[in-house]
Amino acid sequence: MRMRKKKNSESRLLACEKYLLNTDEMLTDPLTVMGEGYSKVFLEIGAGKGGFACAMAERHSDAAYFAMERVTDCVVLCAEKANSGEYGELNNLRFLIDTADNLMHIFPRGSVDAIFLNFSDPWSKKGYAKRRLTHRRYLAMYMNLLRDGGTLTFKTDNVGLFDFSLEEIEAMGLTLTAMTRDLHASEWNEGNIMTEYERSFSEQGMKINMLKITKPVGFNPDIAPEFLTKGRYMGE
């Protein structure tokens, strides 16, 4: 998501501080970060402008909802949206300014119930496939973060990225629990929360692809060493 540098981003973030989470240290128990009484942990990667995160946190008030976004200026918009009052109090929502590459340094293994990837960057140029958030090295990491029976849901307008993701899922021996190439016309659309990109693409008449996988019991594939190295990997 290309954005112009936001003016006063630091002071704007400070004003919405209660919606931000420091990622310098591993969370001991993500379920209790926002207080007692939550029964599941949701993680969104690449929150963009934050509309999906706010609506999901509002709907799933029993979930501790973590929305990760690596671009600080996007998080300014996310946190301001959460702080706007439009979605109520949202005590169960926190934004993390960080990259997915650092997830193993933030969330304990087996601590996440559901992961959401929405309209992830396609990295279409030759030689960049490794950076796609549905590349097998990321899928292996997600599987380790998820508890047994936890789910990963992925939506995209990009057919090339969707096909690539299906191949990666198959190569890992994972099976789909849901899949459609036209989400809005499908049985899976009920209760669907549209993201900012999703609204824009569907207004242009583009179809939305969606897939969901469930972590098989005890499926914890090896994690790529670059995601485990101490000192925190910050991209290539």
Ligand X SMILES: C[S@@+](CC[C@H](N)C(=O)[O-])C[C@H]1O[C@@H](n2cnc3c(N)ncnc32)[C@H](O)[C@@H]1O
Q: Which parts of this chain interact with ligand X (CB under 6 A)? A: 1, 45-48, 68-71, 74, 99-100, 118-121, 195-198
- Least distance to ligand X, CB of residue 48, Å: 2
Q: Is 121 a catalytic residue?
A: yes
- Which class for 207: exposed (0-12), middle (13-18), buried (19 or more C-beta within 10 A)? middle
- Least distance to ligand X, CB of residue 195, Å: 3
Residue 169 or 194: which CB sits closer to ligand X?
194
Amino acid code (one letter) for 79: A
Residues 21, 96: contact at Cβ < 8 Å?
Answer: yes
Residues forming a β-bridge with 68: 45, 96
DSSP string for 46-99: --TTSHHHHHHHHH-TTEEEEEEES-HHHHHHHHHHHHTSTT---TTEEEEES-
Length of the chain: 236
Handedness of CA 77, 81, 82, 83 (dihedral sign): positive
Residue 92 or 195: which CB sits closer to ligand X?
195
Per annotation, catalytic residue among 24, 73, 121, 148: 121
| Gap between the Cα atoms of 182 and 188, Å rounded | 9
Cα three-residue angle 150-154-156, rounded to 5 degrees: 175
DSSP state at residue 127: T
Q: What are the catalytic residues? A: 121
